[in-house]
Amino acid sequence: MSSTPLFNTPAPPPPSINRTTLSCSSTTAATNFPLSPNKLAVLLDKSNTIRQLLQIHAALLRHGLHQHPILNFKLQRSYSSRGRLDYSVALFKRTLNPNIFLYTSIINAYALHGLSLEALFIYTRMLFEGVQPNEFTFSSILKSCSIEHGKMLHSQVIKLGFDSDLYVKTGLVDLYARGGDVGSAQLVFERMLEKSLVSLTAMLTCYAKHGELEEARVLFDEMVKKDVVCWNVMIDGYAQHGMPNEALVLFRRMLAAKARPNEITILAVLSACGQLGALESGRWLHSYIENNDIQVNVRVATALLDMYSKCGSLEDARLVFDRIPDKDVVAWNSMIIGYALHGFSRDALELFQEMCRIGLRSTDITFIGVLGACGHAGLVKEGWSFFNAMRDEYDIEPKIEHYGCMVNLLGRAGQLEEAYELVKNMKMEPDPVLWGALLGACRLHGNLDMGEKIAESLVGHNLANSGTCILLSNMYAAKGNWEGVARIRTLMKDSGVQKEPGCSSIEVNNRVHEFLAGDLKHPKSKEIYLMLEEMNGWLKAHGYIPQTDIVLHDIGDLQKEQSLEVHSEKLALAYGLISTQHGTPIKIVKNLRVCSDCHAATKLFSKITGRKIVMRDRNRFHHFANGSCSCGDYW
């Protein structure tokens, strides 16, 4: 073995054990503890407090057993497992000629505490001293090291012949998974002759974390034995990568398989319910939590709050919030954002003031909620005040999300020049999302000149996304510039940019039903379109005139009317009317901004049917009741 250090890492400062502490009760220890190393080893294994360990340590020192290899190893490991890494390190540093077991134990202790550089330093020292690593050394040090250092360790694993060891290979899979190198993780995994549940879970986690959900599902379905960690990885993978329906379906399969969910499962499923707006499923899950003795800590309660808010039941969200005994800033932020999302801006700002009064320190997330609340109500003066206070009073440097909130606030209020100047004078580089917010405001207020300048600059710098192109295309279409529309569509086609289709969903009887514009795939399409005809009859009877000017295609007025009639939100509403009892609220979720025609028509539908209709679009909630909307037509 070469004596050249493998890694250039600094030595950790030597911690120390207070000898006064060690001498405490040493007389008692010497009197009561038998001096047989075997019996002392048993006592060390059974000790469960730091005080007991200190008494045993004092006895070892008093009777000259402090260099005993087995007792020293057990004591050092016990200190670490009881959270006293400093004692463990101090003991290691006072051990003469530590063997491979002591080296591996201290490396493992550092790794478990996330101190990868310190673990690497000890490993380097071990090599320098000529102590040969074993399989446990490698599986320990791989737990926390970076992928760069891990690749060097991998070469040593191969050189020393440990590349067939199950634990080492599992550590390598986990290493590459953490570093985002899916290909290398897969290569190591596929070459494993034997695959344990731990190694299968490591590869499953790698796939799920990095969005390779098809590969993850194939591996998951092939697993003969699945523990709760495996189920959690797959369910959370779906929830985190925009496939909430699949997350709920798999959760139901988990329950059918008699696997018991834990807190991680609950958090993932609540997230999926919130994404879908699946209130019935969310309420069932809340009931399941209460009936199965799953602890509702602040984290779970905040997830429940967030789920209810995103599913349109702000009343339930507030009930959960009020019942949290020791609310942290995350819970307050979630409630503030919930109020803002529903357009109850004054409630959001009052809650923020209450949070400040009790002395809870605001975070950058708090101000996303506060500025969002100002944006939904057009509170420009208040928005500027909060934005400036972030840096001046709260010592929080505004992030790009805060600038986005301000651009949205100013843009919707018609202050386009101010919004444009704010973006141009930012310290950071604006991203396409920020420009898209300004571009949307240009379209809203008909400022084609500014919008075209922004959009073409983004296109020229290869920063345009589908939203940018669609907004510019719509602006051209609104002005009747069909040549410009054709040019943008050609650009999108050549660049491979695809328009995100509008999709609306509604939950009925714990099942989420999704609709695209003109959708005919639903099993009840015939009944849905019959209801749609009846709804169109209601509109005509009330003198409603369709807003055909928003149909941005070069077609006739009749075709434009027919296009509006089959928008996804109207199909979802029609299905809700035929599938739910008269008088019950209807909740719809749309992935894009609701169009102005559907917004106006839904206001009228709420009056005609006597139903409350709650619609969540990409920006906010709309609560329709008795012919009006909670947004006050400002959205």
Average pLDDT over residues 453-481: 75
Residue 493 pLDDT class (50, 70, 90 cuts): confident
Q: 348 and 370 in contact (C-beta within 8 Å)?
A: yes
Residue 446 tokens, joined: 């008909």
Residue 113 pLDDT class (50, 70, 90 cuts): confident
pTM above 0.85, yes or no: no
- Bridge-partner residues for 488, per DSSP? none
Average pLDDT over residues 502-516: 91
**Over the stretch 208-221, which tens digit does the pLDDT of each residue have?**
999 999 999 999 99
> Do the bridges between strand 613-616 and strand 586-590 make them parallel or antiparallel, or are there none, so unpaired?
parallel
Other Cβ atoms within 10 Å of 510 Cβ, number: 12
Distance CA 330, CA 311 (A): 19
Other Cβ atoms within 10 Å of 223 Cβ, number: 15
Residue 35 pLDDT class (50, 70, 90 cuts): low
| pLDDT of 20 over the 50 cut | no
| pLDDT of 24 over the 70 cut | no
Residue 75 is which amino acid? L
**Which region among 26-35, 60-69, 569-578 has the lowest average model confidence (pLDDT)?**
26-35
Distance CA 361, CA 359 (A): 6
> 39 or 31: whose pLDDT is higher?
39
In whole angstroms, how far apart are CA 148 and each of 18, 152, 185, 516? 38, 7, 14, 46
Other Cβ atoms within 10 Å of 322 Cβ, number: 10
Residue 110 pLDDT class (50, 70, 90 cuts): confident
| pLDDT of 317 over the 80 cut | yes
| pLDDT of 517 over the 50 cut | yes
Average pLDDT over residues 617-634: 90
Which spans in 242-297 are helix H? 244-256, 263-276, 279-291
Smallest Cα–Cα separation from 507: which of 241, 235, 284, 306?
284
Angle between helices 448-460 and 432-444 (to 10 degrees): 160
Positive or negative torsion for Cα 113, 116, 117, 119: positive
Q: 308 and 337 in contact (C-beta within 8 Å)?
A: no
Residue 42 pLDDT class (50, 70, 90 cuts): confident
pLDDT score, position 549: 67
